[in-house]
């Protein structure tokens, strides 16, 4: 699953780091570092982090079941050339 955090919006509340510590971590007091590619087994935790972020700063795809939005699906649908 791919994800990105809009760090302009992010307030460093750390809910995500609490809910999905393998994906998100605080670095210092309020800087967030994260892995833009989350492993499959992180799906549920990542979904919870996305939902819990108070400023909706996290965008992820591939959260709703395999297929749609995954790397492979995106490539299939796009690689017409």
SS (H, E, C) the chain: CEEEECCCCCCCCCHHHHHCCCCEEEECCCEEEECCECCHHHHHHHHHHHHHCCCCCEEECCCCCCCCCCHHHHHHHHCCC
Q: Is 64 in the site for other proteins (CB under 8 A)?
A: no
Report the nearest approach of ligand SF4 to the CB of residue 37 (Å).
16
Tokens, residue 41: 């087994």
Tokens 């699906």 sit on residue: 73
- If one asks whether residue 47 binds ligand SF4 (CB under 6 A), the answer comes out as no
Q: Which of residues 24-63 bind other proteins (CB under 8 A)?
A: 25, 27-37, 59-62
User: In the complex, what is the shortest distance from the CB of residue 69 to ligand SF4, in angstroms, rounded to a whole number?
Assistant: 20
Interface pattern 1-30 for ligand SF4 (x via CB under 6 A): ----x----xxxxxxx-------x------
User: Which option in other proteins, ligand SF4, none does residue 77 bind, with CB closer than 5 to 8 A by kind?
Assistant: other proteins
């Amino acid at each position: 699953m791919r994800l990105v955090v809009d760090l302009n919006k992010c307030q460093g509340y750390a809910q995500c780091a609490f809910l999905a510590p393998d994906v998100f971590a605080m670095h210092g007091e309020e800087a967030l570092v994260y892995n833009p590619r989350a492993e499959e087994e992180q799906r549920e935790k990542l979904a919870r982090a996305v939902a819990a972020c108070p400023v909706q700063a996290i965008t992820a795809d591939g959260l709703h079941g395999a297929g749609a939005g995954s790397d492979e699906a995106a490539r299939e649908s796009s690689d017409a050339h």
